Amino acid sequence: MRREIHQNLVKRNGHGGQNGHAMPELPPFAQRPAPHRPEKEFPLETVLADDGSADLSRLHLPAERLVSLYRLMVLNRLLDERMIQLQRQGRIGFYIGSIGEEATVLGAAAAMADQDWIFPCYREHGAALLRGLPLQRFLCDLLGNSGDLMLGHQMPCHEAFAAGRFASISSPIATQIPQAVGAGWAARIKGDDMVPLVYFGEGATSANDFHTGLNFAGVRKVPVVFVCRNNGWAISVPRERQTAAVTFAEKALGYGMRGERVDGNDLLAVYEATRLARARAHAGEGPTLIECVTYRMEGHSTSDDPRAYRAPELVEPWRKKDPILRLKAHLAWRGLLSEADDAALREQAQAEILAAMREAEALPPKPPLESLFQGVYAEPLWQQREQLEELRAAVDADPRAARLREEG
């Protein structure tokens, strides 16, 4: 009986194929072509040369915009360094930055259109600032005070900025990937001119949400740009322990989409790859997976000490590839930035950070109690109203709260 069923299936599907489509005849194993060679099929695309020169025909960024992005990269770096100091001083509780990865973050974000949503991982504070998040409000998020746009509902460094189409940062690994695909799919159904950009680290490619998101996007040709920040480390797990694949870009093949591999410390290369990916998505050609090869030069976060698992000599070669130094050399090569300009720009960025920090720290230290359930439902449920009243009573009865009110 089993043999008869099998023969009927073969007759219906033809050589064991699915859905009525005959499977192609395969050559014997010995005659099949050799497996692909990722290092050749996915070469590392670079625009900036070591001396700062570049093929100007490949540049699609106006000079003024390029200088503006350089200034934002410097601000991002100085901000990260300052916030690490503040965490060590106990003035903020936690910080996770992007030192060494600024070109990947800002090059990708700059290539998207204003109407595109950005779905960040957790190092993309520079992209939020690029989209107009005021620096002072970003610092309020770190403090969780009354100026926090997240009303103290989120962890520090988990900002969102709806006005700039910057979705909330989430700690769970890779959850933002299917969210971005869903946004792209919705935009396509509604006919909206919007292509989401989603960032994730190379460690996220081991998560099930990576497969879920890319598989759906590949099958449905969803307009979305996937940016994998391959910084070499998923906290303490090196890239070599994350995947047996030679590159992360080649994973695109398995989902039937285009894959690109670029120098993630080269802002011009990242910008160009993202610009083209966005154009293809907008034209209905589906998603692109871009692997940006960069390096995490510091710890995973202020809760991590990389000296426990990473030899210092591994970092040194990457310091010579610092994305800020490389773009600075390019701007100097084109006569767009002098040493004096650079010094003034850095001084201005430092002053901006200090002023924003003073403003943020001057605000009341906590959001109002009334904001506790704000944004959870359109209207609070009776249970939430009841809990809020209980909380008010508890705070009023607490002598510590009374002392804080007296101190202003």
pLDDT tens digit at each of 408 positions of the chain: 445 544 554 444 444 445 555 555 655 665 655 556 776 788 999 999 999 999 988 888 999 999 999 999 999 999 999 999 999 999 999 999 999 999 999 999 999 999 999 999 999 999 999 999 999 999 999 999 999 999 989 999 999 999 999 999 988 999 999 999 999 999 999 999 999 999 999 999 999 999 999 999 999 999 999 999 999 999 999 999 999 999 999 999 999 999 999 999 999 999 999 999 999 999 999 999 999 999 999 999 999 999 999 999 999 999 999 999 999 999 999 999 999 999 999 999 999 999 999 999 999 988 988 898 898 899 999 999 999 999 999 988 988 877 766 665
Sign of the C-alpha dihedral, residues 126, 109, 200, 161? positive
How many C-alpha atoms does 24 have within 13 Å on its Cβ side? 3
User: For residue 124, what pLDDT is reported?
Assistant: 97
Task: Please list the active-site residues.
Answer: 296, 300, 309
Helix intervals (H) in 31-88 = 38-41, 63-88
pLDDT of residue 399: 85
- pLDDT of the residue at 376: 87
Q: Are 136 and 119 contacting, i.e. CB atoms less than 8 angstroms apart?
A: no
Q: pLDDT at position 408, please?
A: 54
CA distance 197 to 119: 6
- pLDDT for 404: 67
Residue 390: Cβ-neighbour burial (10 angstroms; 0-12, 13-18, 19+): exposed
Q: Are 66 and 313 in contact (CB under 8 A)?
A: no
**What is the pLDDT, as a whole number, of residue 403?**
74
**Distance between CA atoms of 226 and 210, rounded to whole angstroms?**
10
* Whole-number Å distance between alpha carbons of 132 and 103: 18
Q: Taking Cα atoms as reference points, which of 287, 200, 202 lies closest to residue 240? A: 202
pLDDT at site 19: 56
Give yes or no for a contact between 345 and 74, defined as CB atoms under 8 angstroms apart. Answer: yes
Residue 58: the pLDDT is 86
